[in-house]
Copies of this chain bind each other. A is one copy, B any other.
Amino acid sequence: MNYANGMESTLHAFLARVEATLEEALPSEGRTDGPSAVLDAAARHLAFPGGKRGRPLLTFHFGRLAGADEARLVQLAASAELVHTASLLHDDVVDDGTLRRGKPTANVVFGNVAAVLAGDLVLATALELLERHPPAVPALAVRTVAEMTRATIAEVRARGDAQLPLEAWHAIAVGKTGVLFALCGAGAALLVGDEAAAARWAEAGRHLGVLFQLADDLSDLTDGAGGKDRFADLKNRNPSHPMLAAFERSPSLQRAVRREWAKGTPDAATVARLGAEVLAAGGAEATLAAMRQAERSMRAALGADAARPGGLELVGFAEQLLARAEALASPTPEVPAAAAG
């Protein structure tokens, strides 16, 4: 994103305020024992250092479009970040995850018990941050949490399903990522009581969330060609967008993946061969096309706001995702000869 200097320092100050709010909301207070020390530690584990603070960033840009009060906007941004953190804590219990953001997950370090309860506490903390907001904001946050939960179970049940319809993939992407991006946008609009903008920005947020998930799925096919983690979705039996799109073009590939997944975790050679076939069947191009469509839909939802300060940065964020994906995926990367054989 391109910022004039003044703007950049404003964003920087905003994110620093979000960070301070997160610190205050999840206290450590130097406690090293006592009933809540483990819980606090588990809750903080994933929050500090966090990820890219993408949701606070989106909240900042939507808030600029809305002209929202900064103190409220900081709370909304911190709340969205904590809803995200809580969902990751429970996801890692659900998936039996071991590593996230380069360190052991909370369930590994503190156990499932602490991770479940830390997730509960972080979620309650997220909602507490919205206590003094217009009632429509916490109400939307609660609905968002319900939708995210439904999407998580849908994702768990989709594992190993090579016949997942693309529409079901889309619904999961909206629920896992889109609705929380939508909260960042609609929440900012509701802070200034603009329900029409809330509806449009929620839609923009959902499209941006889908774009984000498409980019994530695509990177599994294209990143670090030859690297160890390429094609992890095929290995882990996660039906990704490029796979499902490739299956529409090649029913025989779909049958092959179904057979392999029915047997359990495919070995490395099988994964490499199937991954090459997903690329050969045009999976990457189909996902790129879906990304372009999501970007257009997001612009359409933003309408005239796409050209205003805040909206420009949101569009810039989408363009950046798209440009990076296009650079990696097009032209189709060379398939290593060994893997293709």
Binding site for B on A (CB under 8 A): 35-36, 38-39, 90, 93-94, 112-114, 116-117, 119-121, 123-125, 127-128, 131, 135, 138-139, 142-143, 145-146, 149-150, 152-154, 156-158, 168
Contacts and interface: CB of A to CB of B under 8 A. Distances in A.
A238 to B, nearest CB: 15
Q: How many copies does the complex hold?
A: 2
Contacts of A156: 113, 117
Contacts of A36: 150, 153-154
A113 B152 CA distance: 10
Contacts of A138: 135, 138-139, 142
Chain A interface mostly helix, strand, loop or mixed?
Answer: helix
Contacts of A125: 146
B112 A112 contact: yes
B128 A146 contact: yes
Contacts of A113: 93-94, 156
Given A124-B142, A128-B142, A128-B143, A39 B150 contact: yes
A90 B112 contact: no
Contacts of A123: 120, 123
Given A90-B120, A93-B113, A116-B116, 20 more contacts: A35-B153, A39-B149, A39-B153, A90-B116, A94-B113, A117-B156, A119-B120, A120-B145, A121-B146, A121-B149, A121-B150, A121-B153, A124-B143, A128-B146, A131-B135, A131-B139, A135-B138, A138-B138, A138-B139, A138-B142
20 contacts: A35-B153, A35-B168, A39-B149, A39-B150, A93-B112, A94-B116, A94-B117, A113-B156, A114-B153, A120-B145, A120-B149, A124-B142, A124-B146, A124-B149, A128-B139, A128-B146, A131-B142, A135-B138, A138-B138, A138-B139
